[in-house]
Amino acid sequence: MSDRTRQPAGWQVEQNASEAYEQYLVPAIFAPWTDRLIETGEIHEGDRVLDVACGTGIVARRVASRVGPSGSVVGLDINEGMLAVAEETAAEIHPSIEWRQGDATDLPFSDEGFDIVCCQQALQFFDDPGAVVREMRRVLIPGGRAALSVWRPIDYQPAYVVLADALERYIGDEAGTMMRSPFPAWDGEDLRTLVQNSGLDDVSVTVDIGSVRYPSVAEFVRREAASSPLAEPIAAVERAVRDELIQEVEDALHAYTDDEGIVSPMESYVVTADR
């Protein structure tokens, strides 16, 4: 059965983008990569941890059990909708997580208040990523550690190359640009220089290779759209246009199709550095 025949009759999603992000993208993408980031960050019981640009809080939630009652976890994001979902999702987690709204380029915390500062897949969205890393350094204790991850360029993400190109053709240039935006053109040396110039030492940059899986191409397109501002422009086009978009993506990703849907490699830089 093709993905076209499995496509839901309606395209409009029933929840907002923050809820869709937690429901669709966190299990498929961010939760597995969170575990890698935490391992690399060497987070221990008793640590005071800050999750910068936390989104719906998957890093903060996973860290909480590591630091235990003798530690503390704070999740910070500028987006109220993301924080609302984060707070609701973490309601039963102990020790409890503190959720703060704030700007990562001007963190609302005093100097040297955290042992570990994490930032998962957010640095690339800031106009001044150096300011974010400088703030991370400021709030770290001497000897504290920063752990951050940034996707490699989109050429290393086969499914998203195909999806971005299709969105550009069928929805518009802005849609294609939006789908490419999580994948900056930085290489490992760009990241190393950025972090070093922000005042952190012992910088380590590694390439981590994982995968993303969706039950079908139609669900890949729908869930990615639902979790972003793309939901409305895709819903606004005629059904036939969406069908053509999905069929093009399906054809292009044939080599990544198996009995459980589609699976595609994803590659990320993981960076650690010490103050």
The predicted-structure confidence for 83-118, as pLDDT tens digits, reads as follows 999 999 999 998 899 999 999 999 999 999 999 999
Residue 80 CB coordination number (10 Å) = 10
- What pLDDT is attached to residue 8? 35
Domains and CATH numbers, the chain: 3-274 (3.40.50.150)
- What pLDDT is attached to residue 38? 93
- What pLDDT is attached to residue 9? 34
Specify the 3-state DSSP secondary structure of 199.
Answer: coil
- What pLDDT is attached to residue 228? 87
- What pLDDT is attached to residue 182? 96
Q: What is this structure's pTM?
A: 0.91
Distances in Å between the alpha carbon of 236 and those of 136, 209, 227? 41, 35, 16
* Residue 256, phi then psi, degrees to nearest 5: -105, 15
- What pLDDT is attached to residue 19? 93
- Between CA 42 and CA 67 the distance in angstroms is 11
- What pLDDT is attached to residue 11? 44
Distances in Å between the alpha carbon of 207 and those of 37, 47, 152, 156, 197? 12, 26, 8, 11, 21
Q: Which residues of the chain carry a pLDDT beneath 50?
A: 1-14
